[in-house]
Structure 1
Amino acid sequence: MHIYKSPRSAIAPAAVSVTEMVFANLETRPDEVVLIDGPTGRSLTARDFMDQVRRLAGGLTEAGFGAGHCVAIMAPNMPEFCVVFHAVALAGGTVTTINPTYTAPEVAHQLKDAGAELLVTIGPFLEVACAAVPGTGVREIAVIGPGEGALPLTALMGAPLAGQVPVDLERHVLVLPYSSGTTGLPKGVMLSHRNLTVNVEQIVEIADFRAGEATAGFLPFFHIYGMTVLMNMHLAGGGTLITLPRFDLEMFLRLSQDHKARRMWVVPPVALALAKHPMVDQFDLSALEQVFSGAAPLGPELSDAVGARLGCICLQGYGMTEMSPVSHANPGRAARAGASGLLLANTEARIVDPETGQDQGPGGEGELWVRGPQVMLGYLNNAAATAATLDADGWLHTGDIGRIDADGYLFIVDRLKELIKFKGFQVAPAEVEAALIALPGIVDAAVVGQADPEVGEYPVGFVVRAEGGPDEAAIRAHLEGNLAHYKQLHRIIVTDAIPKSASGKILRRLLRDRLAAGAA
Structure 2
Amino acid sequence: MLAQYLLGKFRALVRLLIQCVSPRQVKLETATYLRGSKTSELDDEDHNVVEWAFSGAYDGDKPILIDAENPARSLSKNKSLDLVTRLSGSFEPGSTVCLHLQNNILYPILVLAILATGCKWTGTNPACTRSELEDHLRVSRSKYIITSEDHEDMVFDVLCRMDEDIELILFSDVTVERPPSKDGKHPTLHDLLANSTFLPLESRYQRLSARTAATLMASSGTTGLPKMAIRAHGALVCESRSDELQDAHKPYKIRRLFCTPMFHAYSFPKMVINPLRQGQPTYYMQRFDDTFIQKLSLYSITDIITVPPILSRLVDQARGGDAKPLLQSLRTIICAGAPLTVKLRDEFIQLFSNPPQLIQEWGMTECGCISRAGDLDADMPTTVGRPVAGYLVKISQEERVEIPGGGFASELLVKGPQLMDCYLGDDSATASHVTSDGWYKTGDVGYLDARGRIFLVDRAKDIIKVNGWQVSAAELEKTVLQVPGVMDAAALSMGHSLDEHPYICVVRTDHGVSEKEIREVLRSQLSRYKGSRCELQFVDGLPRAASGKLLRRKLKAQLTHREK
Using the size of structure 1 for normalisation, the TM-score is: 0.91
**Which ranges in structure 2 are unaligned for 5 or more consecutive residues?**
1-30, 174-180
Instruction: Give the superposition deviation at 1:515.
Output: 4.3
Question: How far 1:73 moved relative to its partner?
Answer: 0.6
Match of 2:516 among 473, 479, 495: 473
Aligned residue number for residue 504 of structure 1:
548
The CA deviation at 1:161 is 3.6
Match of 1:45 among 76, 81, 95: 76
Shift of 1:21: 0.9
Q: Which residue of 1 aligns with 2:34?
A: 4
Q: Distance in 2 between matches of 1:257 and 1:103?
A: 36
CA distance in 2, matches of 1:9, 1:429: 36
Match among 218, 221, 241 for residue 201 of structure 1? 241
Q: Aligned partners of 1:362 and 1:327: how far apart in 2?
A: 25
**Equivalent residue, structure 1, for 2:129:** 103
Question: CA RMSD, aligned part only?
Answer: 2.6
CA distance in 1, matches of 2:458, 2:236: 28
Structure 2 counterpart of 1:123, one-letter code? E
**Against the structure 1 CA distance between its residues 363 and 184, is the aligned structure 2 distance closer, same or farther, given a 3 Å change threshold?**
farther
The one-letter code sitting in structure 1 at the alignment partner of 2:543 is P
Task: Name the structure 2 match of 1:162.
Answer: 200
Q: Give the equivalent residue in structure 2 for 1:215.
A: 256
- Paired with 1:435 and 1:209, the residues of 2 have a C-alpha distance of 49
Q: Is 1:143 the counterpart of 2:183 in the alignment?
A: no
Change (3 A) 1:412 1:130: same
2:428 & 2:407 partners in 1: Cα distance? 32
1:460 aligned to which of 499, 503, 517: 503
Shift of 1:373: 0.2
Q: Could you tell me which amino acid in structure 1 is paired with residue 218 of structure 2?
A: Y
**CA–CA distance in structure 1, aligned partners of residues 275 and 558 of structure 2:** 45
CA–CA distance in structure 2, aligned partners of residues 136 and 33 of structure 1: 43
More deviation, 502-511/5-14:
5-14
Q: Matched residues in 2 for 1:518 and 1:294: separation?
A: 33
1:399 aligns to what?
443
Separation of aligned partners in 2, 1:10 and 1:479: 48
1:300 aligns with 2:342: yes
Instruction: Say whether the 8 Å CA contact 1:206–1:344 is kept in structure 2.
Output: no
Which of residues 289, 296, 305 is equivalent to 1:256? 296
Larger Rg: 2
Assess if the C-alpha contact under 8 Å between 1:31 and 1:45 holds in 2: yes
Q: In the alignment, residue 404 of structure 1 is paired with which amino acid? A: L
Q: 1:184 to 1:285 in 2, by over 3 A?
A: same
More divergent stretch after superposition (85-94 vs 494-503) = 494-503
Aligned counterpart for 2:59 among listed residues 29, 48, 62: 29
Q: Could you tell me whether the CA contact under 8 Å between 1:362 and 1:404 is conserved in 2? A: no
Residue 326 of structure 2: SS of its match in structure 1? coil
Unpaired segments of 5 or more residues in structure 1? Answer: none
1:284 aligned counterpart, secondary structure: helix
Question: SS at the partner of 1:129?
Answer: helix
CA distance in 2: counterparts of 1:507 and 1:332, whole angstroms: 40
SS in 1 for 2:60: coil
Aligned letter for 1:191?
A: R
- Counterpart for residue 229 of structure 2: 189
Matched, 1:285 2:315: no
Q: 1:497 to 1:67 in 2, by over 3 A?
A: same
- Give the number of equivalent residue pairs: 509
Decide whether the 8 Å contact of 1:275 with 1:305 is kept in 2.
yes
C-alpha change, 1:270 and 1:480, in structure 2 (3 Å) is same
For 2:52 and 2:310, locate their aligned partners in 1 and report how far apart those are by CA, in whole Å.
Answer: 31
User: What pairs with 1:344-383 in structure 2 (closer than 5 Å)?
Assistant: 344-355=388-399, 364-383=408-427
Q: 1:507 to 1:209 in 2, by over 3 A?
A: farther
Bigger RCO of structures 1 and 2 (CA < 8 A, at least 6 apart):
2
Cα offset, 1:9, TM superposition: 7.1
Aligned residue number for residue 81 of structure 1: 107
Which residue is 2:267 aligned to? 226
Question: Contact 2:47–2:210 at 8 Å: present in 1 too?
Answer: no
Measure how far apart 1:107 and its partner are. 0.7
CA distance in 2, matches of 1:453, 1:340: 14
276 and 514 in structure 1: CA distance in 2 versus 1, 3 angstrom threshold:
farther
Checking the alignment, whether the CA contact within 8 Å between 1:178 and 1:186 is kept in structure 2 is yes
Indicate if the aligned counterparts of 1:362 and 1:403 stay in contact, CA closer than 8 A. no
Paired amino acid for 1:85: V
Shift of 1:423: 0.7
Match of 1:180 in 2: 220
Shift of residue 131, structure 1, vs aligned partner: 2.1
